């Protein structure tokens, strides 16, 4: 039995094509994935991301807990509302999940974890809390009166559309810097996203979600499915858990070194393994020069040895196939490599793993 | 509901087949298949002259989301391919029954009888 978000009926009313995503019955598109993709790059689109799990981490030891739990350093968070992207590792240095943590107070953080990994993540946090004997509560905001729904409104017109529907939040969010969140009445509004475009991610009481969703549609915001979300994040060079990294992959080999704090004295789960193993591969972009479509798990042949595509698709913005790939150290930007597509070796160029942001092609 | 024209034959793997006046058959993918795949962006066709066994991989259609094999519905040799869809894969989303992929000269004309009719294929598509 797949799980449903509170917007499930709304998706079906819009004739969405539904798929099982990490155990959740979610819309993959509402007709055309490519049109939805362009709507976000050029205008405004929205995604139901209520399958992701918001978790409140509270208590006297909340900060101590997160300092030890995740690879990025929550001590960087000094201003209430500031958000931080991080990996949560196992002792072997593999990625248990990637997450965003919002700093609200020293005794209250909001953490958003992935849908398919939520149960595993919560069990892992519980296990560590038991070992460490800290005064912390980890409360998923999934059920009961605290249950939240999450809607990501993204694109150059996203903020204007949200203010049209919620004029009362405009003053407090107009000057909100990137990667911040703020609670305004029943809405938690954050300047985060997974598309490379401007916009908000909004958490609100689950019971209010359908009315808000419909008000956004009336304001001209296009509903977009997980298909467009995937091509948008891939163009923006953002990792997808389970595809670009998992428990067997070091964040250093998955392009996430920038999120791992190895400089401070602070110890965290997986740090010793990362220091012992170092970086073994590099995470780069590929643009296919020949005709075809790059896909996850295709083999990449380079002068430095073999690599593997972790995410690949046809880029609607570049109108050519692009990929994120784990390649041997020594491969350089600009190199031409070969990708094995159904037994044929096709040429691809190695590029920075960012293809498009703010409506424009970069690579 | 997807469109299933009554005058065509079908396979369980979502190909449609039309018998032409000259005894050849034209092959494409069904409306149900294009809808399931989503926006198509790349199509690879077989070489003209290639001999295919029934069920053998003949072509590849790729959407933004996924790649799918297209199989030979019956044994035969490829007599023509539709290069126009290679240049404009989206035409397959617009009309799956106009945007054919390849034509086969059947090894045995009688093999067509084993294919599904529209009612039987409609039931297959609905069950997915």
Per-residue pLDDT reduced to its tens digit, A205-250: 999 999 999 999 999 999 999 999 999 999 999 999 999 999 999 9
Q: List the structure tokens of A172.
A: 């407090």
Residue of B nearest to A15 (CA): B1
Residues 6+ apart with CB under 8 A from A243: A296, A310, A311
Check whether B1 has a pLDDT greater than 80.
no
Residues from chain A that touch B36, judged by Cβ atoms under 8 A, are 17
Chain A interface residues (partner B, CB cutoff 8 A):
17, 28-29, 32-34, 37, 227, 231, 291-293, 295, 313-314, 316, 321, 342
User: How close, in Å, is residue B62 to chain A by CA atoms?
Assistant: 7
Count the Cβ atoms, other than its own, within 10 Å of residue A38. 18
Q: Do A293 and B39 touch (CB under 8 A)?
A: no
Q: What is the rounded average pLDDT of the residues A20-46?
A: 96
Dihedral angle at the C-alpha atoms of A245, A249, A255, A258, nearest 10 degrees?
Answer: 110
Fold of A280-361: Elongation Factor Tu (Ef-tu); domain 3 (2.40.30)
Average pLDDT, chain B: 95
Q: What is the pLDDT of residue A155?
A: 98
Average pLDDT, chain A: 97
Widest distance between CA atoms in chain B:
37
Whole-angstrom distance, CA of residue A113 vs CA of residue A123? 13
Convert the pLDDT of each residue in A78-127 to its tens digit. 999 999 999 999 999 999 999 999 999 999 999 999 999 999 999 999 99
Q: What is the pLDDT of residue B14?
A: 97
Whole-angstrom distance, CA of residue A342 vs CA of residue B67? 11
B64 pLDDT band, cuts 50/70/90, is very high
Which string of DSSP letters, residue by residue, matches B79-112? EEE-HHHHH-THHHHH-TTTS--EEEEES-GGGG
Q: Do B64 and A316 touch (CB under 8 A)?
A: yes
CA A332 distance to own-chain centroid: 27
User: If we measure between CA atoms, which residue out of A202, A167, A211 comes closest to residue A182?
Assistant: A202
Q: Which of B35, B36, B42 sits opposite A292 (nearest CB)?
A: B42
User: If we measure between CA atoms, which residue out of B23, B5, B37 comes closest to residue B107?
Assistant: B23
What are the residue boundaries of the structural domains of chain A, listed by start?
1-235, 280-361
CA A215 distance to own-chain centroid: 25
Decide if A22 contacts A51 (C-beta within 8 A): yes
- Local structure of residue B123 (DSSP, 8 states): H
Q: What is the pLDDT of residue B20?
A: 96
Q: Do A293 and B44 touch (CB under 8 A)?
A: no
Question: 3-state SS of chain A?
Answer: CCECCCCHHHHHHCCCEEEEECCEEEEEECCCHHHHHHHHHHCCEEEECCCCEEEEEECCCHHHHHHHHECCCHHHCCCCCEEEEEEEECCCCCEEEEEEEEEEECCEEEEEECCCCHHHHHHHHHHHHHHHCCCCEEEECCCHHHCEEEEEEECCCHHHHHHHHCHHHHHHHCCCCCCEEEEECCEEEECCCCCCCCEEEEEEEHHHHHHHHHHHHHCCCEECCHHHHHHHHHHCCCCCECCCECCCCCHHHCCCHHHCCCCCCCCCCCHHHHHHHCCCEEEEEEEECCCCCCCCCCEEEECCEEEEEEEEEEECCCCEEEEEEEEECCCCCCCEEEEEECCEEEEEEEECCCCEECCEECC
Which ipTM score applies to this complex? 0.85
User: How close, in Å, is residue A34 to chain B by CA atoms?
Assistant: 7
Q: Could you tell me the pTM of the whole model?
A: 0.94
Q: Is B79 exposed, middle or buried (0-12, 13-18, 19+ CB in 10 A)?
A: middle
B31 pLDDT band, cuts 50/70/90, is very high
Check whether B29 has a pLDDT greater than 70.
yes
- CATH code: domain B9-126 is 2.40.50.100
Q: What is the pLDDT of residue A67?
A: 98
Convert the pLDDT of each residue in A127-174 to its tens digit. 999 999 999 999 999 988 899 999 999 999 999 999 999 999 999 999
User: If we measure between CA atoms, which residue out of A6, A113, A148, A125 comes closest to residue A59?
Assistant: A125
Q: What is the pLDDT of residue A362?
A: 87
Q: What is the rounded average pLDDT of the residues A252-279?
A: 97
Integer CA distances (angstroms), A308 to A66, A299, A328, A346, B43, in order: 32, 5, 9, 14, 23
- How many H helices and E strands in chain B? 4, 9
Residues from chain A that touch B63, judged by Cβ atoms under 8 A, are 33
Residue that has been written with the tokens 């509903």 in this structure: A223
Residues from chain A that touch B64, judged by Cβ atoms under 8 A, are 33-34, 37, 227, 231, 313-314, 316
A363 pLDDT band, cuts 50/70/90, is low
Pick the CATH number of A1-235 from 3.30.1360.120, 3.30.1310.10, 3.30.2350.10, 2.40.30.10: 3.30.1360.120
């Amino acid at each position: 039995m797949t799980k449903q978000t509170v917007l499930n009926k709304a998706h079906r009313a819009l004739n969405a094509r539904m798929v099982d995503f990490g155990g959740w019955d979610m819309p993959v598109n509402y007709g055309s994935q490519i049109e939805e993709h362009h709507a976000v790059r050029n205008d405004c689109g929205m995604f139901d991301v209520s399958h992701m799990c918001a978790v409140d981490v509270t208590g006297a030891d909340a900060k101590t807990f997160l300092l030890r739990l995740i690879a990025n350093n929550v001590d960087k968070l000094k201003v209430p509302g500031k958000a931080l992207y991080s990996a949560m590792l196992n002792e072997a240095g593999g990625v248990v999940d990637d997450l965003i943590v919002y700093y609200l107070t020293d005794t209250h953080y909001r953490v958003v974890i992935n849908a398919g990994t939520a149960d595993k993540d919560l069990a892992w946090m519980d296990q560590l809390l038991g070992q460490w004997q800290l005064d912390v509560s980890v409360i998923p905001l999934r059920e009961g009166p605290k249950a939240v729904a999450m809607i990501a409104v993204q694109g150059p017109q996203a903020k204007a559309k949200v203010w049209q529907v919620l004029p009362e939040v405009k003053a407090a969010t107009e000057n909100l810097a990137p990667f911040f969140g703020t609670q305004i009445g029943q809405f938690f509004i954050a300047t985060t996203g997974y598309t490379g475009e401007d916009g908000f991610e909004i958490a609100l009481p689950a019971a209010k979600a359908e009315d808000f969703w419909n008000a956004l549609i009336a304001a001209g915001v296009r509903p977009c499915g997980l298909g467009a979300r995937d091509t948008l994040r891939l163009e923006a060079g953002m990792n997808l858990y389970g595809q670009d990294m998992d428990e067997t992959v070091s964040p250093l080999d998955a392009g996430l070194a920038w999120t791992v704090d190895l400089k401070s004295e602070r110890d965290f789960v997986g740090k010793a393994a990362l220091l012992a193993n170092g970086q073994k591969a590099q995470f780069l972009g590929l643009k296919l020069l020949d005709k075809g479509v790059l896909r996850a798990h295709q083999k990449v042949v380079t002068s430095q040895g073999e690599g593997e595509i972790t995410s690949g698709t046809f880029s609607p913005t570049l109108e050519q196939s692009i990929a994120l790939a784990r390649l041997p150290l020594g491969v350089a930007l600009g190199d031409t490599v070969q990708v094995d597509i159904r037994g044929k070796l096709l040429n691809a160029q190695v590029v920075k793993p960012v293809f498009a942001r703010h409506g424009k092609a970069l690579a | 509901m997807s469109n299933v024209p009554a005058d065509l034959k079908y396979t369980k793997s979502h190909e449609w087949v039309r018998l032409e006046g000259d005894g050849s058959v034209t092959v494409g993918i069904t409306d149900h298949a294009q809808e399931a795949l989503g926006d198509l962006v790349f199509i690879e066709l077989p070489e003209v002259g290639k001999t295919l066994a029934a069920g053998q991989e003949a072509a590849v259609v790729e959407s933004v989301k996924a790649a799918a094999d297209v199989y030979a519905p019956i044994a035969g040799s490829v007599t023509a391919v539709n290069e126009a869809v290679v240049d404009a894969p989206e035409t397959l989303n617009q009309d799956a029954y106009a945007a054919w992929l390849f034509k086969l000269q059947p090894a045995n004309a009688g093999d067509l009888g084993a294919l599904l009719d529209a009612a039987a294929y409609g039931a297959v598509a609905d069950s997915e």
